[in-house]
Amino acid sequence: MRVYRVPSEYLEIFSSSGVLCTYLPEAIDATLTRTTFALIRTGGTIGLHRAPLAQAFAIISGSGFVCDADAHQRGVETGHLIVFEQGEEHQTCAATDLQVIIVETNGQFSIPEDFFNEENQEEPNLILDPDN
């Protein structure tokens, strides 16, 4: 399991205004990619299971925790992206209503350098609010 903060920036092309984009990683070398929006209610869980495909789990709003097969817990919240490898056992639990986008692929995720890996504090931090 890898946990990242996702980059955000204002869309400036096409004479756009007032549009803040938050990016997900690109799936590469894939013949199958699917995207799901899920709402996990407070106290709800996606039970312990093996990821059927590589999975990018983006938290749009809310907080909770993910745990691995050994029940090691990691708190997660809005702005986190959790990447599970195909076959990796994991569970997700919601402390508050948790809205997530799940991207699954039989390819790989290309994680750009501007995604901040929260497990490696030596990497540069991201500016999540482009106004600050």
For residue 35, the enclosing domain spans 2-112
Summarised one tens digit per residue, pLDDT across range 11-54 is 888 888 888 888 788 888 999 999 999 999 999 999 999 999 99
Query: Domain total for the chain?
Result: 1
Residue 70's domain is classified under what CATH number?
Answer: 2.60.120.10
Summarised one tens digit per residue, pLDDT across range 71-120 is 899 999 999 999 999 999 999 999 999 999 999 999 999 888 878 776 65
130 located within any domain: no
Distant-in-sequence, close-in-space partners of 51: CB < 8 Å, separation ≥ 6 = 84, 85, 86, 87, 88, 89, 90, 104
126 located within any domain: no
122 located within any domain: no
Do the Cβ atoms of 29 and 86 come closer than 8 Å? no
26 located within any domain: yes
132 located within any domain: no
Q: Is the dihedral of CA 117, 120, 123, 128 positive or negative?
A: positive
16 located within any domain: yes
The neighbouring-strand residues paired with 33 are 105
Is 131's pLDDT higher than 80?
Answer: no
